[in-house]
Structure 1
Amino acid sequence: MYSKPEFAPLSHDEVFGLIEAAAFAAVVTAGPQGLVVSHLPFVLDRARGENGTLVSHLARANPHSTLISEGRETVAIFHGPHGYISPSWYPRNPVRDSAPTWNFAVVHCHGHPVPLDEHATARHLLQLVEVLEKDRDDRWRMRELGPGGMERRIPGIMGFDLPIGRLEAKFKMGQDERLYDTGGAIRALEQSDPALAAMMKAHNAYRQD
């Protein structure tokens, strides 16, 4: 992924935090007929492996599952806050002569997937529900599927680990723009997109006028 040094994440925790907040990724695997893409939810195990390990699942009926079971090279792509940056937000100094751009945060997790057996797949599904239902009012629990509900579904599902062999992160947050222009964009976005504004502010806090 093309990037610049100024677009580096502030910390490893920031990268993991983006993955956990997004929870959903585009998954791309190289197969004999070319690239295959699915869109899947993930749980991140920060402590397992040098760069952590992702855990997910997909339908066995999905042709992508064959490539996953073969351990073919795969990348999971997670998106954080992103949005169009309009020069209309920049101060006239004396003119607004910077071009429009798009600010974004993205993480690419490269690795070779390892399929899980049915017991490990069931554990993953329980953990995924725990993570996604956390802090919900009247949260749903897996036991509500009723007797045999999980056992009936598991044969059609393939869980897999994706140990992250290579981790790429790009946080393009206006660090390469004039500071007063980036400041104008932050002020505008605080009303319309506070998440993007907060990330831009954090990534430009070290800069001096």
Structure 2
Amino acid sequence: MYQPPAFRETDLETQQAFIAAHPLGLLISAGEGLLANPIPFLLYAAEGPLGTLRCHMSRANPQWKALGQNPDVLVVFQGTEHYITPSWYPQKAVDGKVVPTWNYAIVQARGTARVIEDAAWLHANVSALTAQHEGSRQKPWAVSDAPDAFIASQLKGIVGIEIEIATIDAKFKASQNRPELDRVGVAHGLAAETDAEAPAMRELVKARGGI
């Protein structure tokens, strides 16, 4: 990933927190060509120097078989993103030397994937993933709510993937390379936008730009 110094984030705790907050990762690998599938991941931050990712996918998905031939993977976790118009820069009125750009937050993790077909591992992974996303609900659903025979049959249709993270990179592009007045202008401009992404990007611009 292209990493200008102004946008690079190297703190592991921050990188891991981002993955936990944006768990739907794009799993990219090579098979007969490139393969890419969006999959919800669980991060085990304390397992391995950089953490370990676990997920499962449908047995009908050809990607898991391709991993047996080439286990090297890239997992991309995408956060907030937004178009940035040069009209928000005060610099535009000074000399007009401004252009549009796009702000975004992203973390990329690389490692070697291990395919797992063990039923107990799969049950534990599905249960943990469910607990992670159901825990805050008023009436959380649990795997144990479904009949055992039904769950057993469902587990036969999936395979597990475990990836010990070998390298991790984070990029938070939030107008840090612009002068302070331009950063303020971007934050002000985003405040007037009505789309769902604008508030989160505004907060990122303020936090990363020190405004």
Q: Same fold per TM (> 0.5)? A: yes
* Structure 2 match to 1:119: 120
**Distance apart, 1:178 and its partner CA:** 2.1
* Structure 1 match to 2:86: 87
**Distance apart, 1:71 and its partner CA:** 5.6
Deviation by residue 1:21-48 (Cα, 9 ceiling, x = unmatched): 11101111112x2211111000000001
**Distance apart, 1:10 and its partner CA:** 6.5
* Structure 1 match to 2:201: 196
Count of residues in Structure 1 that have an aligned counterpart in Structure 2: 205
Distance 1:134 1:102 in 2: 34
* Structure 2 match to 1:53: 52
* Structure 1 match to 2:99: 99
**Distance apart, 1:122 and its partner CA:** 0.9
Q: Which moved more, 1:102-111 or 1:85-94?
A: 85-94
* Structure 1 match to 2:33: 34
Identity, in percent, stands at 29
**Unpaired stretches in structure 1, ≥5 consecutive residues:** none
Whether the aligned pair in 2 keeps the contact of 1:121 and 1:160 (CA below 8 Å) is no
* Structure 1 match to 2:141: 140
Distance 1:158 1:69 in 2: 12
Whether the aligned pair in 1 keeps the contact of 2:9 and 2:169 (CA below 8 Å) is no
TM (norm. structure 2) is 0.90
Distance 2:10 2:168 in 1: 14
* Structure 2 match to 1:185: 186
What stretches of structure 1 move > 6 A for 4+ residues in a row?
none
**Unpaired stretches in structure 2, ≥5 consecutive residues:** none
* Structure 2 match to 1:129: 130
TM (norm. structure 1) is 0.91
Whether the aligned pair in 1 keeps the contact of 2:52 and 2:164 (CA below 8 Å) is yes
**Distance apart, 1:88 and its partner CA:** 2.1
* Structure 1 match to 2:161: 160
Distance 2:45 2:192 in 1: 33
What secondary structure is seen at the aligned counterpart in 1 of 2:16?
Answer: helix
* RMSD between aligned residues: 1.7
What secondary structure is seen at the aligned counterpart in 1 of 2:50?
Answer: coil
Distance 1:18 1:161 in 2: 19
Q: Which moved more, 1:188-197 or 1:57-66?
A: 188-197
Whether the aligned pair in 2 keeps the contact of 1:90 and 1:96 (CA below 8 Å) is no
